[in-house]
Structure 1
Amino acid sequence: MDSRGQDEVVVIGGGVIGLTTALVLAERGRRVRVWTRDPVERTTSAVAGALWWPYHIEPMASARRWALRSLEVYAELAERPGETGVRLADGVMGDTDLADVESWAADRLPVLRRATEEEYGAGPAVWARLPLIDMAVHLPWLRERLRRAGGSVEERTATEPAEAAAPVVVNCTGLGARELVGDLSVRPQRGQLVVVENPGIDTWIVSAGRDGAPAYLFPQPGRLLLGGTAEDDAWSMDPDPAVAEGIVRRCAELRPEVAGARILDHRVGLRPVRPAVRLERTTLPDGRLLVHHYGHGGAGVTVAWGCAEEAATLATPSTATP
Structure 2
Amino acid sequence: MDPEHHSKIVIVGAGIIGLDVALVLAEKGLGRSVTVVAEYLPGDTASTYTSPWAGCNFSALSASDEKALRWDRLGYFHLKKLASEKSAESFVSHTPSTEMWDDTPPYEKIRDMSAYLEDFKLLPSKVLPDGVKFGVSFSTVTINAPKHLEYLYKRLRDEFGITFIQQKIPNVQSAFKSPSTVAVFNCTGVAAGTLAGVQDSKCYPTRGQVVLARAPWVHQNTMRHGRDYETYVIPRPGSNGNVILGGYMEKGDRAERGAQPGRARSPGCICGAEAVEEGGTRVEREEVQIGGKRRVIVHNYGAGGAGFQAGYGMAVDAVGSIEDILRTITENPRSCL
TM-score, normalised with respect to structure 2: 0.81
Displacement after TM superposition at 1:186 (Å): 0.2
The letter of the residue matching 1:218 is: I
After TM superposition, list the pairs within 5 Å mapping 1:97-112 onto structure 2: 101-112=109-120
Question: CA offsets, 1:101-125, max 9 Å, x none?
Answer: 5410223111111235686433321
Q: 2:232 aligns with which of 216, 219, 234?
A: 216
Displacement after TM superposition at 1:218 (Å): 0.6
- What SS does the aligned partner of 1:33 have? strand
Question: CA offsets, 1:213-251, max 9 Å, x none?
Answer: 43211111331111112151239xxxx9xx6xx62xxx3
Partner of 1:161: 172
**CA–CA separation in structure 1 for the residues paired with 2:303 and 2:264:** 32
Displacement after TM superposition at 1:318 (Å): 3.9
Percent identity, please.
27
Partner of 2:16: 16
**CA–CA separation in structure 1 for the residues paired with 2:105 and 2:199:** 39
- What SS does the aligned partner of 1:49 have? coil
Question: CA offsets, 1:153-192, max 9 Å, x none?
Answer: 2211112222122221110111111122111110000000
Q: Which moved more, 1:37-46 or 1:80-89?
A: 37-46
Q: 1:292 aligns with which of 295, 299, 317?
A: 299
**Kept in 2: contact 1:83–1:137 (CA 8 A):** no
**Kept in 2: contact 1:92–1:120 (CA 8 A):** no
Displacement after TM superposition at 1:99 (Å): 6.0
After TM superposition, list the pairs within 5 Å mapping 1:121-200 onto structure 2: 121-122=129-130, 123=132, 124-147=134-157, 148-164=159-175, 165=178, 166-180=181-195, 181-198=198-215, 200=217
Displacement after TM superposition at 1:316 (Å): 3.4
**CA–CA separation in structure 2 for the residues paired with 1:288 and 1:316:** 14
Q: 1:234 aligns with which of 246, 253, 256?
A: 253
Distance 1:208 1:71, change over 3 A: closer
Displacement after TM superposition at 1:70 (Å): 1.2
Question: Is 1:303 the counterpart of 2:310 in the alignment?
Answer: yes
**CA–CA separation in structure 2 for the residues paired with 1:121 and 1:55:** 19
Q: 1:93 aligns with which of 96, 99, 102?
A: 99
Partner of 1:265: 268
- How many residue pairs get aligned? The number is 298
Partner of 1:40: 42
Displacement after TM superposition at 1:94 (Å): 0.9
- What SS does the aligned partner of 1:19 have? helix
The letter of the residue matching 1:23 is: L
Partner of 1:255: none
Question: Is 1:70 the counterpart of 2:75 in the alignment?
Answer: yes
**CA–CA separation in structure 2 for the residues paired with 1:44 and 1:7:** 26
**Please, which runs of 5 or more residues in structure 2 have no aligned partner?**
328-337
**Kept in 1: contact 2:62–2:68 (CA 8 A):** no
Question: CA offsets, 1:42-90, max 9 Å, x none?
Answer: 3211111122125354x72101101101111111100121111111211
Distance 1:231 1:129, change over 3 A: same
Question: CA offsets, 1:133-153, max 9 Å, x none?
Answer: 111221111112211111022
Distance 1:119 1:313, change over 3 A: same
TM-score, normalised with respect to structure 1: 0.84
